[in-house]
Chain A
Amino acid sequence: MSKLNVLLMGLVVVVLAGCNQSSSVTVHKPGVYKGASDPLLSANTEERATALSERFTMGQLDR
Chain B
Amino acid sequence: MARMKFLCDAERCIECNSCVVACKNENDVPWGVNRRRVVVLNDGVPGEKSISVACMHCTDAPCAAVCPVDCFYTTDEGIVLHDKDLCIGCGYCFYACPFGAPQYPEQAAFGVRGKMDKCTFCAGGPAKNNSDAEYAKYGSNRIAQGKLPLCAEMCATKALVAGDGDMVADIYRERVLKRGGRPQTWGWETAYGAQG
Contacts and interface: CB of A to CB of B under 8 A. Distances in A.
Direct touch of chains A and B (CB < 8 A): yes
B108 interface: no
A55 B146 contact: yes
Interface stretch (B27-35, B121-129, B181-189): B121-129
Contacts of B1: 45, 49
A28 B146 CA distance: 35
B96 to A, nearest CB: 7
B13 interface: no
A32 B45 CA distance: 47
B146 A62 contact: no
B11 interface: no
Contacts of B20: none
B42 interface: yes
Contacts of B76: 41, 45
B147 A40 contact: no
A40 B163 contact: no
Interface string B165-192: 0011001000000000000000000000
**Which of under 10, 10 to 19, 20 to 34, or 35 or more describes the interface residues of A?**
20 to 34
A30 B1 CA distance: 23
Interface in A1-35: 1, 3, 6, 27-35
A30 to B, nearest CB: 4
Contact of B71 (A33, A40, A49): A33
Contacts of A49: 1-2, 164
B126 A35 contact: yes
A56 B70 CA distance: 32
Contact of B163 (A6, A36, A52): A52
Contacts of B43: 1
Interface string B13-50: 00000000000000000000000000000111100000
A59 to B, nearest CB: 5
A39 B86 CA distance: 17
B64 interface: yes
28 contacts: A27-B65, A27-B66, A28-B67, A30-B64, A33-B73, A34-B70, A34-B83, A35-B73, A35-B126, A36-B127, A38-B81, A38-B127, A40-B75, A41-B75, A45-B1, A45-B77, A48-B143, A49-B2, A52-B143, A52-B146, A53-B164, A53-B167, A54-B146, A56-B163, A60-B152, A60-B162, A60-B171, A61-B158
